[in-house]
Structures are given as C-alpha cells and as structure tokens.
Amino acid sequence: MNLKLKIKALLLICLIYFSFTSFFNAQNSDQKNFKTGADQPELYLPLLKNKTIAVLTNQTGLLKDKTNLVDFLVKNKIKIKTIFAPEHGFRGDADAGEHVKNGKDLKTGIPIISLYGDNKKPKPDQLKGVDIVVFDIQDVGVRFYTYISTLSYLMEAAAENKVEVMVLDRPNPNDGFVDGPVLKKEFSSFVGLHEVPVVYGLTIGEYGKMVNGEKWLKNGIQANYTLIKLNNYHKKQRYEISEKPSPNLPNATSINLYPSLCFFEGTQVSVGRGTDLPFQIFGSPWTKDFSYQFTPKPTSGAKDPFLNGQLCFGENLSDKNLNLREINLKWLIKSYEDYKNPDQDFFLKNLFFDKLAGSDVLRKQILAKMPEKEIKKSWQKDLEEFKKIRKKYVIYED
C-alpha cells in the first residue's frame, strides 16, 4: 500500500472512530440530562401551591431518588384530598382485572379511591372541592394497556366538573413506532377506547393532548389540560423506566414483546402469567409441536393464572435479544396452525380477542389463514390516516 492510500485509510478510520464516539457521547448526554415531568418540581409546585389537589398515580410515580410523588407533594405542603388508583392499585401489586378496594394510604392517611372495576371514572362527589388532579403513571405506549383509558375517563370527569388535569409526562418505552390494526368505534372498551392503532408512538402526555384536541371525550367536551413535559427526550432511543408498570411487565423485554403477545390473551394460549417470564414466553397444552415447556402456577402477580397447573408447549423469547419496532404476528399464526383441541376453539368464546384487536377483522383473517404480510398490508390505509392525526400532537422528536 502506498503512502497516499495509507493516509486515506487512516483518515477514514479516524472519521469512523470520532463519528461513533460523538454518537455514543450524545446518547450518554441525552440520558444524563433527561428528566421526567415529576423530576421538574420547579415547573409544577408553583402551580399547585394554595390549591386542593387529587393525585392519580401508582408505584411508577417516582422521582429520580425513588421518592413517591405523593410523599414528595406532602413533604412540600401541597394539600392532597384524594389518591386515585388505576388498575393494579396504588402500590401496583394487584392482578390484571382484579377488583381493587378503596382504602387509605397507611403512610400519609390520604383516602385512596380505586378507578378500576365498577368505578372507572371519578364521580362528581369524588372531585368536589378539588382544583387540580395530577396524573403521573408510567405507560407502555400500547392501546390495550388500560392506563390511557384511565387518563381519558379522568379528563372527561374533570372537564364535566370544571377541574384541571395536570399530566407529569414519562417516556414511551416502545418509543415512536406506530403499528397494528386501528380500532373501530363499535369495538370500543376499557382495553381500547379510541380509534388508534395497537402501538401509537406517543408518550402518555402526548396521547392526552390528542384525546383532548380531537374531542374524543364524551359529547366532544375538552379538559383544562396542563402538560409538564419531559426534558431532553426524543423517541430515537429507548429510555429505561424507573419501576415496572405492572406485575406482569417486569422488564424491558416483556414491554417490548407486549404489543405482539397480548393478542394471546384472547385465545387458549398462555403468555406466561404465573411463571418467572410473563409476556416473554407463550404456550398451550394443545400446541405440542413447540419444544419449550412451562407450567403456570400461582404467583404474587398472578394468583390464579390462565392454564394454572397445566403443562404448556410453546416458545421462550426472553433470551433472543429482540428489539421489536413492529408487531410480530408469526407467533400467533403459528400457534393457531399448531393448535389441536377438538373440545375448545383457539379463540375464547367471549371474543375478547376482538376487543384487543379493535375489531373482528384480525380474527377472521387468521381463521382464513391469511399470510402475515397480507394482514399487515391491510392495516396500512388506516395507519396512514392515524399518522396524520398523530402528527399534530407530537411534542418530542421521532
């Protein structure tokens, strides 16, 4: 190699090195300077001073030093009348779908009102005398995860009762990608209130702005909505979250797989509730062509898990180093094709699958053995329409 070529090669190596170093340092800097809404009290404490507030939060409502938001507000002499608790409760240890009772926070003595079960929307008497409801919950950016429904019902009740809603924003651990079938209005339920895709690519604060701006609340009413934005956040990388959002989403892998695996909750296939790997494995007693085996058993996060005590055959995805930025239907389709049980259909009789999917179309496509590629192609028109709506409410760079 002559001298000129050697110099060129050396310069190229240096350029690659410095580009990589700059990128790495920029990412480190972003993580270092990043702040949640809760970690910017200088922005919200002045707005809460001399007000009577309620707080809608759970175990994820933490400041950087792991102080719970309620404890922090009490320490700063903010008057809290009520704590509202979402699905899984204020401390986040209840099963999915478990009825959470009203009570009192032992540490502060503040009354706790459950917004799950029969009382998903705050009643007028529960908001009486409240000036602002502060909402601080870690979401996962997926339509059938119920915290966005809880926020929507809160906004609706607050608008009807002239109460302000303040959202302390948190990152979307599934970042800014958009995918999945868009919900059809007639299939609206608590696991999908609005006409959005399964993965909508917004933080919970951006989502609330969209619900308000599009007038999706009852009778088109709009809430007095204040957003305490994230500092130094964008959706080009995934930020670690401070606390697991619910008992069966214990880590980043489960959260990443959740948009693809949650469809199984409408079928005779387990997603690993009652094991050490919830939403990281799947299987059924009737899919025996799969090699991985597990048996669901009662745990603190799944007291009576689906297929309790039954040997299941499926797949373990926990160690595959997946970093999905799309919904994977291959596992669902493969399980349906392998399912052999003459006594029970693959899909549950209550058609909960349709509520998760947002319509009956996906179920019918799978029954018709439509290839994954064709199914995903059928989503595109609706996704493009949604992206036009979404674009109006994006605050943080995609």
Question: Per-residue confidence at 314, pLDDT binned at 50, 70, 90?
Answer: very high
Which of 147-151, 284-288, 323-327 is least confident? 323-327
> Which pLDDT does position 9 carry in this prediction?
59
**348-392: per-residue pLDDT in tens?**
999 999 999 999 999 999 999 999 999 999 999 999 999 999 999
Class of CATH domain 41-228: alpha beta
pLDDT in tens, 32-44: 789 999 999 999 9
Residue 58 φ then ψ, to 5°: -150, -155
20 confidence band (pLDDT: 50, 70, 90): very low
Task: Answer whether residue 347 shows pLDDT above 90.
Answer: yes
Q: Sorting pLDDT into bands at 50, 70 and 90, what band is 4?
A: low
Note the pLDDT of residue 276: 97
**Joined tokens for residue 68:** 């719970």
Q: Encode pLDDT of 102-141 as tens digits.
A: 788 888 999 999 998 888 999 999 999 999 999 999 999 9
| 117: nearest Cα among 94, 101, 103, 99 | 99
| pLDDT category of residue 301 using cuts at 50, 70 and 90 | confident
What does pLDDT average to over the chain?
A: 91
What residue type is assigned to position 159 of the chain? A
Least confident of 16-20, 55-59, 95-99, 242-246: 16-20
What pLDDT was estimated at residue 102? 75
Whether 97 shows a pLDDT value over 80: the answer reads: no
Cβ neighbours around 387 below 10 Å, total: 14
Q: What is residue 22's predicted lDDT score, i.e. its pLDDT? A: 42
Helix axes 252-261, 330-338, angle to 10 degrees: 60
Tell me what pLDDT residue 31 has: 62
Say if CB 157 and CB 165 are below 8 A apart: no
Q: Where are the beta strands (DSSP E) in 4-131?
A: 52-57, 79-85, 103-104, 111-114
**Between helices 204-213 and 147-160, what is the axis angle to 10°?**
40
pLDDT of 130? 98
Range 188-214 average pLDDT? 98
**What integer pLDDT is reported at residue 89 of this predicted model?**
72
pLDDT at 230: 98
Q: How confident is the model at residue 91 (pLDDT cuts 50, 70, 90)?
A: low
Q: Are 85 and 94 in contact (CB under 8 A)?
A: no
List every span in the chain annotated with CATH 3.40.50.12170. 41-228
- Could you tell me which of 398, 379, 13, 12 has the C-alpha nearest to residue 197? 379
